[in-house]
Amino acid sequence: MTTLKDVAALAGVSTATASLALNGGPVNEKTRETVKKAAKQLNYVPNKVGQMLTSGRSNTIELIILTADEFPNIVRKTSLFYYLMEGVLAIADQRNVSVRFAVKSYDDPGLVTYFAELVGSRMVDGAIVIPQFARDARYARPLQDAGFPFVLLRAATFGDDLNYVDMGNSHGAKLVADLLVGCGAQRVGIINGPASHLDAIEREQGFTAALLDGGAALVAKLNGDFTIESGYAAMDRIAARKLPDAVFCANDYMAAGAIKFLRGRGIRVPDDIAIVGYDNNDIATAVDPELTTVDNRFFDLGRELAGNLLSLIDQVTDKVAVQVTPELVIRQSCPAP
């Protein structure tokens, strides 16, 4: 059985240095890569239990997505978090840290207990928490009380006393409104997500404020659940009245559904109506015409969440307040003015 001593010998370093390199410790990157290459060559598998007993660390973090029973399709039928998870895993792999994933419901009566047990079990060193809805943040209390390292996505919503990486929803939606106004749109609609979803709240606020500042009118507002089907149904209702100049869909799946409806009715995009989405998912380039959208840089968000959580765990910092700025991506569904 291959031991850490064997890995150290092949890498030409001490056993202590090999241990630090494989456990995210303070060694230079060249040494870390040499040790990791040696470990891979020897098929070395670290003893996680032994590591935890020696260091008091599990070298494991947990990514927890909070959802609501009322809207199961947000996680089930969309890939909203796929790119974010990729970003988290990219940093975790660099630091030789394992990642556990969990999807928990706000409606679960055992939610607070789950977080308390997360702290007490010592099976993870910290957590990334992704709240989706404007609900009571009581779940965070056991983490705060224990001084347990955790970082929230969109946490500016809950106050600056929590560690957060913000995704700039309001700014991204403002970019959409400015584009539509610049293209001459006067009558505009919005197909939003669930009214209590944090993305929906922030995107609507940023969009409507910028739209009105630009002199355009919001003539239709409907809510979906971020799925293709809900975008299709909402566009059906909007088209039953006088067609607006443009519609902003608060994610790409709903925009794809809206375009599907319009194409089926012979309504041309963007000639008859402009459509803009949000997220820059793969579906944005799979629809015809390709979708103008906002890239919320989910991969970068994942990297920031994981990197900053590990900085908290390592006590490199005691405060995380990071902004990842979204970017407008112009395609055919709403060309630039």
Tell me the pLDDT band of 50, cut-offs 50, 70 and 90: low
Work out the number of other CB atoms within 10 angstroms of the CB of residue 9. 15
| Token output for 20 | 């630090």
Indicate if 175 and 163 belong to the same structural domain.
Answer: no
Indicate if 17 and 118 belong to the same structural domain.
Answer: no
Q: Is the pLDDT of residue 156 over 80?
A: no
* pLDDT of res. 253: 96
Q: Is the pLDDT of residue 137 over 90?
A: no
Q: Is the pLDDT of residue 205 over 80?
A: yes
Establish if 333 belongs to a structural domain. Answer: no
Q: Is 147 left (phi over 0), alpha (psi -120 to 50) or beta?
A: left
Q: What is the pLDDT of residues 99-119, one digit of tens each?
A: 999 989 999 999 999 999 998
Indicate if 162 and 184 belong to the same structural domain.
Answer: no
* pLDDT of res. 26: 66
Residue 129: which domain range? 60-168+298-327
* CATH number for the domain that contains residue 254: 3.40.50.2300
* pLDDT of res. 54: 52
* pLDDT of res. 29: 83
Q: Is the pLDDT of residue 177 over 80?
A: yes
* pLDDT of res. 274: 98
Instruction: Tell which residue, 76, 75, 104, 71, has the closest CA to residue 196.
Output: 71
* pLDDT of res. 145: 87
Indicate if 140 and 228 belong to the same structural domain.
Answer: no
* pLDDT of res. 263: 96
* pLDDT of res. 324: 96
Establish if 55 belongs to a structural domain. Answer: no
Indicate if 173 and 231 belong to the same structural domain.
Answer: yes
Q: Is the pLDDT of residue 148 over 90?
A: yes
* pLDDT of res. 248: 99
- Quote the mean pLDDT of the chain: 90
Indicate if 302 and 164 belong to the same structural domain.
Answer: yes
Comparison of pLDDT for 334 and 135, the residue scoring more: 334
Comparison of pLDDT for 162 and 284, the residue scoring more: 284
Establish if 337 belongs to a structural domain. Answer: no
Q: What is the number of domains present in the chain? A: 3
Q: What is the pLDDT of residues 245-261, one digit of tens each?
A: 999 999 999 999 999 99
Establish if 335 belongs to a structural domain. Answer: no
Establish if 52 belongs to a structural domain. Answer: no
Q: Is the pLDDT of residue 186 over 70?
A: yes
Indicate if 105 and 160 belong to the same structural domain.
Answer: yes
| Portion of the chain with pLDDT greater than 70, in percent | 92
Q: Which whole number is the average pLDDT over 232-248? A: 97
51-60, 79-88, 293-302: segment of lowest average pLDDT = 51-60
Indicate if 128 and 189 belong to the same structural domain.
Answer: no
* 212 and 245 Cβ atoms separated by less than 8 Å: no
* pLDDT of res. 16: 76
Report long-range pairs for 27-36 (Cβ below 8 Å, ≥24 apart).
35/7, 35/8, 35/11, 36/96
Pairwise CA distance, residues 210 & 175, whole Å: 8
Pairwise CA distance, residues 3 & 11, whole Å: 13
Indicate if 103 and 128 belong to the same structural domain.
Answer: yes
* pLDDT of res. 144: 86
* pLDDT of res. 120: 86
Q: Which whole number is the average pLDDT over 41-55? A: 66
Establish if 237 belongs to a structural domain. Answer: yes
Q: What is the pLDDT of residues 267-313, one digit of tens each?
A: 999 999 999 999 999 999 999 999 999 999 999 999 999 999 999 99
Establish if 112 belongs to a structural domain. Answer: yes
Is the bond preceding 289 in cis, omega lying within 30 degrees of 0?
Answer: yes
Q: Is the pLDDT of residue 235 over 90?
A: yes
Establish if 336 belongs to a structural domain. Answer: no
* pLDDT of res. 78: 67
Indicate if 136 and 177 belong to the same structural domain.
Answer: no
Q: Is the pLDDT of residue 231 over 90?
A: yes
Indicate if 94 and 164 belong to the same structural domain.
Answer: yes
Indicate if 34 and 113 belong to the same structural domain.
Answer: no
